Structure 1
Amino acid sequence: MKRSSCYTAVLLLLSALPWTLQAEEASEGCVEVSVGGYKAPDYNCLSRQLGNNPDAAKAAQANQQAQQDAAHKRPPNQLGLSTPAATSVRMGNTFGTSVKPQRP
């Protein structure tokens, strides 16, 4: 009787072992391995850490929406380009006559 209860206790402890190992693995930080002076990070661990972002769905949706809009249909100031009106305001009375702007 003692022997069977001992075996069941051992089996219960061994069955709980994988869950404890997963908990330790998730709580630890990522490990970088250095071989011959070259550092190789654990990309699986980094991917798991990056995958827990709650705003990732919103960011992915915003990226898809931005890619659907045609760039040639956007106004130049949204693309980071200068417009002729903005350039003439910046250059002032030297627009077309000098390379030095009136206003910086």
Structure 2
Amino acid sequence: MKTSWRITLGGLLLTAASSAYAEEPLGCVEVTVGGYKAPNYDCLSQQMGNNPEGAAAAKKNLEALNVPVSKRPPNQVGLATPAATSTRMGNTFGTSVKPQRPPQ
């Protein structure tokens, strides 16, 4: 009877120990060597890569970058704006078709 209890208890301890090692660590370990911190980059990259909200955020970022041409500002499309034309023409903006040039 005592041997069966020992076998059962031993089996329970082994399963508990193996399940404890099977779980992934919750935090990352930082090691300090000679005053310099050395983080575990594998652990940090796993934590950053397994974010289910990360895919949704990446999709929103791509959508924000892909603005339709009809909704872009004119200077991004290559059209002239009043401010750019005024700078190019100088003080003759609105009075002459020739831009202002400094005297030779």
TM-score of the superposition, structure 1-length normalised? 0.52
Larger Rg over CA atoms: 2
Equivalent residue number for residue 61 of structure 1: 59
Equivalent residue number for residue 40 of structure 2: 42
The correspondence of residues 11-50 of structure 1 with structure 2, limited to 5 A, is: 11-23=11-23, 25-26=25-26, 29-50=27-48
Structure 2 spans left out of the alignment, 5+ residues: 92-104
Shift, 1:45, TM fit: 1.9
Aligned residues: 86
Shift, 1:21, TM fit: 3.7
Equivalent residue number for residue 90 of structure 2: 96
Question: In percent, how many aligned pairs have the same letter?
Answer: 46
Alignment match of 1:85 (pick from 65, 70, 82): 82
Conserved? CA contact 2:74–2:81, under 8 Å = no
Equivalent residue number for residue 95 of structure 2: none
**DSSP 3-state at the match of 1:25:** coil
The 2-side partners of 1:78 and 1:11 are apart by 73
The 1-side partners of 2:74 and 2:53 are apart by 28
What is the Cα-based RMSD across aligned positions, in Å? Answer: 3.9
TM-score of the superposition, structure 2-length normalised? 0.52
**DSSP 3-state at the match of 1:96:** helix
The 2-side partners of 1:10 and 1:65 are apart by 57
